[in-house]
Structure 1
Amino acid sequence: MAKPRKKLPEKSVDIYCSKCNSQLFQYKKGGKGALVKCFKERITKDFTEALCTCPNCQQIFARDTLVRGTPAFKMIGGKVWFK
């Protein structure tokens, strides 16, 4: 499969924890669908201290994985929301 594009999308979204509403990432998202995965190279600001864990409520919201040979976070359904 093809790797994600090197050029970042223009649309930037803020990703929040669904339990405590604290901000987790600022991310350059492509497309208009649901947030299933976050490529690490597209994260512009990271507000987490521990990997895939909310800094406020300590909830695990994603899994560290490889998608199409690129490091990414695979989001757990219902744990995050974005705007």
Structure 2
Amino acid sequence: MTRVLIVVVIVALTIYCIVELAQSHTYRVRKMPKWLWAFTVICLPVIGPLAWLMWGRPTGEDPRRLPRDQGPDGDEDFLRGLRP
């Protein structure tokens, strides 16, 4: 029974990682290209999914996004210059 449970956990983890990888945007995947992550997750049963979860998953930040410009009300120096 323990062996079956271990196999089920490994298969579930692999399926979860494949679905998450398929849904992630190509430019947000870290460390390796998306196709190489898919190959790693599928071909290396335990190591691949764990590596994806630790090093490949997209973070909450978007690397292509530039910092947004703030309006003049967000600049403290500008506001100090307006006060008499």
TM-score (norm 2): 0.23
Larger helix percent: 2
Could you say which structure has the higher strand fraction?
1
Structure index of larger Rg: 2
Q: Which has the higher contact order (CA 8 A, sep 6+)?
A: 1
